[in-house]
Amino acid sequence: MSTQDLLTRYGLRPDKKLGQHFLADQQLLERELAYAELRPGDTVLEIGPGIGNLTVLLAGQAGKVIAIERDPQFKKCLGDLQALHPQLEVLWGDAVEVAFPPFDKAVANLPYQVALPLIFKLLERRFERAVLMVQRDLARRLGARVGESGYGRLSVAVGRRAEVEVLEEVDRQAFYPPPEVESALVRIERTRPKFSVPDEEFFRMVLEAFFRNRQETLAQAAQAIRERELPQPLLAKTMGRLPEKLRRKTVCRVTPAEFGEITWALWKSRLG
């Protein structure tokens, strides 16, 4: 059944406030499923199932599907799917707030307004693979390598715990109604952390502070960091302990592992 047919059958209307744009391209939905490489024993997490056109494909291949949905207008159509697929469980609530149950893989067309916090929330859990539809600009930043235009704090933070691949870019006409932005499918393979950091929030704060001046050298960027983020005496002390070659590197060419070293150096300097 097509997207429009499902909407008509259940009397549904996309909610612009929730950023609801339903993927209407059946071939693309099937490719999304194929990228996940589901096995019969897999437990799959889906965020924002909506009308269930991806959910039904997942339920046909996975051992269990757990779908998190906040909009009660979809209770009837998802309830009908549950009647046909007893391995489907629906959790009602905001995915940003709902505790994620254990899962092997995540496959979802994420709501774009909260895609980033949801990705970080996913990375807090152990899983094998996630195939996610996100805004194209976000996908490019997630998958950017050192020195590339999209490389930044997001690339480093996510890349520390995962391998990211942009699978394909998606035209807005693949959705109903079409969004105002282009989209892309990404595959995130969860890995062991490639390097350690003393504290996740402190690490993210360090990245944000330095990447605000991404075209400056590390030393120059340090001098421009706001006092309320990291005190200048602490920064000066830490920079003095780093190799000169690293201090002279442009921020956008500092590797993720080097940012790990900088974070540890700042942490230790802060502790005295």
2's torsion region: left (phi>0), alpha (psi -120 to 50) or beta? beta
Residue 230, C-beta contacts closer than 8 angstroms, at least 6 positions apart: 205, 206, 209, 266
Per-residue pLDDT band at 272 (split at 50, 70, 90):
low
Across 229-255, average pLDDT: 94
Asked if residue 222 and residue 136 are part of one domain, the reply reads no
Across 227-249, average pLDDT: 93
- Residue 106 CA to residue 117 CA, distance in Å, equals 15
Asked if residue 64 and residue 169 are part of one domain, the reply reads yes
Mean pLDDT of the chain: 94
pTM of the predicted protein model? 0.91
Task: Kindly report, residue by residue over 196-218, the tens digit of the pLDDT.
Answer: 999 999 999 999 999 999 999 99
pLDDT confidence of residue 49: 96
Asked if residue 227 and residue 181 are part of one domain, the reply reads no
pLDDT confidence of residue 73: 95
Asked if residue 243 and residue 167 are part of one domain, the reply reads no
Asked if residue 146 and residue 259 are part of one domain, the reply reads no
CATH code at position 109: 3.40.50.150
Asked if residue 96 and residue 8 are part of one domain, the reply reads yes
Asked if residue 225 and residue 91 are part of one domain, the reply reads no
Residues 196-233 as b or e (16 or more Cβ within 10 Å = b): ebeeeebbbbbbebbbbbeebbbbebbeebeeeebeee
Domain endpoint, select from 139, 157, 190: 190
Q: Is 61 helix (H, G, I), strand (E, B) or coil?
A: coil
pLDDT confidence of residue 1: 67
pLDDT confidence of residue 16: 76
176's torsion region: left (phi>0), alpha (psi -120 to 50) or beta? beta
Asked if residue 173 and residue 110 are part of one domain, the reply reads yes
Domain endpoint, select from 162, 190, 218: 190
How many domains in the chain? 2
Measured CA to CA in angstroms, residue 89 lies from 32, 128, 133 at distances of: 20, 20, 21
Residue 21 lies in a domain: yes
Asked if residue 247 and residue 178 are part of one domain, the reply reads no
Asked if residue 235 and residue 116 are part of one domain, the reply reads no
pLDDT confidence of residue 255: 97
pLDDT confidence of residue 5: 78
Asked if residue 209 and residue 93 are part of one domain, the reply reads no
Asked if residue 182 and residue 90 are part of one domain, the reply reads yes
Task: Kindly report, residue by residue over 137-165, the tens digit of the pLDDT.
Answer: 999 999 999 989 899 999 999 999 999 99
Residue 195 lies in a domain: no
